Structure 1
Amino acid sequence: MTRDSDFKQVVRARMTETGETYTAARAALERSAREEAYDVARAEQRRLVGRLFTDGRIERVPAKRKVRAAVLLEVLRRFEPGREYSEKEVNEVLLGVHEDFAYLRRELVNYHYLEREDGRYRTAARAPERSVIERQEIPAWEEHWLEGFLAGR
């Protein structure tokens, strides 16, 4: 049970409006909040990378880590969640983005967006746990956007 009295009031208002039980109303509100957070995260992602990409390519990899992470998330969209890729296939995808495909591949692995095992690559199964230091270098909306991407949205 929640201890936040403001949230309880919102849940009770929804109960009155919809006739739902407390549990159903709370779950609906929490689901709505997650969806809204995802939409806000995706809009921020589009705004940020929209100025960096021209015809699907970037001229240079950004030096700022937060912006680089945003670019890497955009590059990650070119991979199918759950599919396994050979290194050659990964290189071909990344070559369509930037000529330094090896650097992009390494960064995707370093940021835990791609997992590598026995020379095979796949998108991460779930959003990575970030240390305090890593969270300083990653856009705040990453966890919302990445969770949606990995879920196939």
Structure 2
Amino acid sequence: MTRDSDFKQVVRARMAGTGESYTAARASLEQEAYDAARAEQERLVGRLFTDGRIAHVPARRKVRAAVLLEVLARFEPGREYAEREVNEVLLGVHEDFAYLRRELVNYRYLERQDGRYRTAAHAPARSPIERQEIPAWEGHWLEGFLSGP
């Protein structure tokens, strides 16, 4: 059952307008939110990637986070990587692999311990300020990606 009362009100408003059941209205709204988040992600990164590479790392945090999510998809969830392996993956994206590696750790997408890296076990908890700078796609995609196939 949904705990967010604001979202429940939106679901109930949709139910009243469409005649759908609660479950159907909620699923439709969640799909619309997913589609909107994916469209925003594609808008943010679509023009930056050419043949899987980026010419420059964006300065704007929201766009940079969107790029990092695209880069993160190149890693296998749960697998442990040596720093050299991480660098090889990141060199396929941009020549400043050290900066990308540091940003992936800073955004808590990768975890580092004793020179070994792995994707985070769970999506990071974000403060309200951080949530303003993170694309909506993170909330829809990241947890499922990190949990693996």
Q: RMSD of aligned C-alpha atoms?
A: 2.6
Consecutive aligned runs of 4 or more in structure 1 exceeding 2 Å deviation: 1-9, 11-15, 26-40, 147-153
Match of residue 91 from structure 1: 87
Give, in angstroms, the shift of residue 145 of structure 1.
Answer: 2.5
Q: Unaligned regions of 5+ residues in structure 1, if any?
A: 16-25
- Paired AA for residue 118 in structure 2: R
Higher CA-based Rg? 1
Give, in angstroms, the shift of residue 49 of structure 1.
Answer: 0.8
Match of residue 14 from structure 1: 20
Q: Distance in 1 between matches of 2:109 and 2:96?
A: 18
Instruction: Give aligned-pair identity as a percent.
Output: 74
2:132 pairs with one of 130, 136, 141? 136
TM-score calculated relative to the size of structure 1:
0.79
Cα distance 1:142–1:6, how it changes in 2: closer, same or farther (>3 A)?
Answer: closer
Identify which range, 129-138 or 90-99, moves more after superposition. 129-138
Q: Unaligned regions of 5+ residues in structure 2, if any?
A: none
**Matched residue count:** 143
1:76 pairs with one of 72, 79, 87? 72
- Paired AA for residue 7 in structure 1: V
Cα distance 1:63–1:98, how it changes in 2: closer, same or farther (>3 A)?
Answer: same
Per-residue Cα deviation, 1:25-56 (whole angstroms, up to 9, x for no partner): x4454344334322322222122211001111
The answer to whether structure 1 residue 103 and structure 2 residue 99 are counterparts is yes
